[in-house]
Structure 1
Amino acid sequence: MINIILAEDHNIVRNGVKILLERDADLKVVAETENGKEVLNLLQTGIEASIILADINMPDMDGISLLKQMKQKYPDVPIIILSMLDNEQYIIEAFKEGASGYLFKNISADELIFALKHVHTGNRYICTELSLRLLDRLMNLPSQRKNWALHHDFSAREIEILHLMSEGYTNNEMSDKLFISKRTIEGYRQNLIDKTKVKNTAALIKYAVLNGIIE
């Protein structure tokens, strides 16, 4: 049996989620709360929970604050965030603070149940909609980098030198590695600065990172 504490400050949402979960014989909502503080209070009384299913926006103690507290006091109890917030900042922060899953509230009942069971076995989970967004972004990265390079009319050699510069190679080291003269390296460096209209090498590397040509 997977025992769940459901933390959600909206009664209608909380009741609806509880009904969906308890249709599955393997799931049981052992407690309901309106904020993170109540979750911690319940755990302190000795209630046994397999998973915490929590919203991010809650009064008194929100989901992110709850994650931080749980990481310190109950690190073995996984937390899945169930939220309407699709801002990347919240998603990244949630996982940095130890979330085991992130689900949007428009998720289907079947996927919600699957996510809970998946996390219960020690895995992490992000909902399908979020996974597809990340996949779309990854698929677009190569074309973005290619278009950026083409827009600035960079040669393959210039891009190669730009990568080496970002890795901290000196002109002498690049000269040895690429079997070209130091003077030629300096010429490539100046061409890159001229094409991007930046002031110096540090600004050039920053510009390249911000535009996705190097990581």
Structure 2
Amino acid sequence: MAQTPVRVVLVDDHEMVLQGLKSMLTPFRGRIRVVGQAIGAEDAVRVVSGLNPDIVLCDVRLQSASGLDLCRRLLELEPSRRVVLLSVYDDEQYLFQAVRAGAVGYLLKKITGEELVRQLERVRDGERVIDSALAGRAVDTAARLAAGEFWPGARHGLTHRESEVLSLMVTGISNRGIAQRLIVGEETVKSHLRSIYRKLEVSDRAGAVAVALREGIYR
């Protein structure tokens, strides 16, 4: 007996991306049915609550709130909700954050339509899915973390470069000084700072430094 199509709600900040995903999934309408879409986190909560899909397929990066934050919110409202995060970031630290947020899947946007459908069907059947290449690196990272062979901040989801930036912040170096020390642009430093604040759940430089000092996540 054939199974009914997987009912999916798509979430992204951009209409063009949503339309692209729908077009990608259209040839598989017998296996996947897009029952709704939402632009941004607030719209997503309303749409998902109203439609109760099998799976929420959401971009990791949203403007008003991250896909990680949305995942946590949806699970607070309905603990059995299945959320799969779709991302361009093949950094295992993002994967670890997704798992901590409660997502049942982390897939990269380079995925083909056929593979995406297959992975969503696996989620519908109760499995967790992770991009295969990223999963291999994550296993290695997890083993090194367990052995204590990693950089400060890794356990908090910080990348190696973010840990370097945080360590320099603790010493009181300015954004310009950090940029010069790491040989990057100031805008790159600011981007790292935004990511550090989000991962450490603080709102500013002082808060990040306080967490670094308290948790010992600096060199």
Provide the TM-score with structure 1 as the length reference: 0.60
Contact 2:11 / 2:59 at 8 angstroms: preserved in 1?
yes
CA distance in 2, matches of 1:20, 1:12: 12
Corresponding residue number in structure 1 for 2:52: 48
1:26 corresponds to 2:31: yes
Residue by residue over 1:32-69, the C-alpha shift from the partner in whole angstroms, topping out at 9 and shown as x without a partner, is 1121211111133x213110000011122220111111
**Structure with greater Cα Rg:** 1
Corresponding residue number in structure 2 for 1:166: none
CA distance in 2, matches of 1:98, 1:8: 18
From the superposition, tell whether residues 113 and 40 of structure 1 become closer, same or farther in structure 2 (CA, over 3 Å): same
Corresponding residue number in structure 2 for 1:88: 92
Corresponding residue number in structure 1 for 2:122: 118
Structure 2: any 5+ residue segments left out of the alignment? 150-219
Corresponding residue number in structure 1 for 2:41: 36
CA distance in 2, matches of 1:139, 1:36: 34
From the superposition, tell whether residues 109 and 6 of structure 1 become closer, same or farther in structure 2 (CA, over 3 Å): same
Residue by residue over 1:74-109, the C-alpha shift from the partner in whole angstroms, topping out at 9 and shown as x without a partner, is 121200000112222221111011100000111122
Amino acid in structure 2 at the alignment position of 1:11: E
Please show how residues 194-205 of structure 1 align to structure 2 within 5 Å: none
From the superposition, tell whether residues 77 and 60 of structure 1 become closer, same or farther in structure 2 (CA, over 3 Å): same
Amino acid in structure 2 at the alignment position of 1:127: D
From the superposition, tell whether residues 128 and 48 of structure 1 become closer, same or farther in structure 2 (CA, over 3 Å): same
CA distance in 1, matches of 2:72, 2:139: 28
Percent identity among equivalent residues? 29
CA distance in 2, matches of 1:108, 1:2: 17
Aligned residues: CA RMSD: 2.4
Provide the TM-score with structure 2 as the length reference: 0.59
Aligned residues: 142
From the superposition, tell whether residues 139 and 18 of structure 1 become closer, same or farther in structure 2 (CA, over 3 Å): same
CA distance in 2, matches of 1:111, 1:70: 25
Contact 1:35 / 1:62 at 8 angstroms: preserved in 2?
no
